[in-house]
């Protein structure tokens, strides 16, 4: 007589991991608790913003000549009569001044969505990707946590690619001059590098 034994450990593991799929979700973006500066920058570009000077004063938009300095850090700075600029005297310049700042009552930063637009463009592709990862789980190759970590990495990577590739609306000429490039969302690369994902598990589900 042959003694046949069945090992149902794989089936039990699969049941557990399939249940885990309902517990997990992912959050994608630039998180304020990681870096509030880049979270603010992301919000401005994603939705656009109008920035107005306060109390009737002017916004000081630095030129390349300012070299990253504030107006208070540049000696001899003055406003030439009839011009909306702050400058320093420079005999070598054509008009005898070197412009350090442009004065503006307001600045409009246009919407350059890189999160919402990527979701609109890639959602179907992400769902197909998720289905393939769940198939791997059913084949006992990966667990539920890996399914969502892979999906998070995929989505974050696509958003980073969008930041790199977006070209419109263009930066203003002075911004291009200061940055040295015409890529609207790339300067130091900090914004792109801060796009990430977080795996969230709901421990209240039973």
Percent composition of the chain: helix, strand, coil (DSSP 3-state, to 5):
45, 20, 40
| Residues 26-57: tens digit of each pLDDT | 999 999 887 789 999 999 999 999 999 987 78
User: Which is it for strands 85-89 and 196-201: parallel, antiparallel or unpaired?
Assistant: unpaired
- pLDDT on residue 186: 83
| Residues 101-119: tens digit of each pLDDT | 999 999 999 999 999 999 9
**Beta-carbon-side half-sphere exposure of residue 196 (alpha carbons within 13 Å):** 12
Query: pLDDT confidence of 7, banded at 50, 70, 90?
Result: low
Q: What is the SS3 assignment for 99?
A: strand
- pLDDT on residue 1: 44
Burial 42-81 (b: 16+ CB within 10 A, else e): beebbeeeeeeeeeeebebbbbebbeeeeeeebeebeeee
Query: pLDDT confidence of 4, banded at 50, 70, 90?
Result: very low
């Amino acid at each position: 007589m042959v003694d046949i034994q069945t090992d149902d450990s794989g089936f039990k593991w699969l049941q557990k991991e399939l249940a885990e799929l309902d517990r997990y979700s992912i959050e994608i973006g630039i998180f304020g608790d990681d870096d509030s500066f880049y979270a603010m920058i992301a919000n401005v570009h994603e939705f656009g913003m109008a920035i107005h000077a306060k109390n009737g004063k002017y916004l000081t938009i630095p030129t390349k000549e300012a070299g990253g300095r504030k107006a208070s850090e540049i000696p001899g700075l003055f406003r030439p009569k009839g011009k909306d600029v702050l400058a320093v005297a420079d005999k070598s310049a054509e008009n005898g001044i070197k412009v350090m700042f442009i004065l503006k009552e307001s600045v409009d930063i246009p919407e350059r969505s890189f999160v919402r637009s990527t979701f609109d463009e890639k959602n179907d592709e992400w769902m197909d990707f998720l289905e393939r990862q769940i198939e791997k789980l059913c084949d006992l190759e990966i667990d539920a946590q890996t399914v969502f970590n892979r999906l998070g990495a995929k989505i974050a990577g696509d958003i980073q690619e969008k930041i790199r590739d977006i070209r419109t609306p263009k930066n203003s000429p002075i911004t291009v001059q200061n940055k040295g490039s015409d890529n609207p969302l790339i300067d130091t690369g900090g914004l792109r590098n801060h796009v990430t994902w977080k795996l969230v598990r709901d421990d209240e589900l039973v």
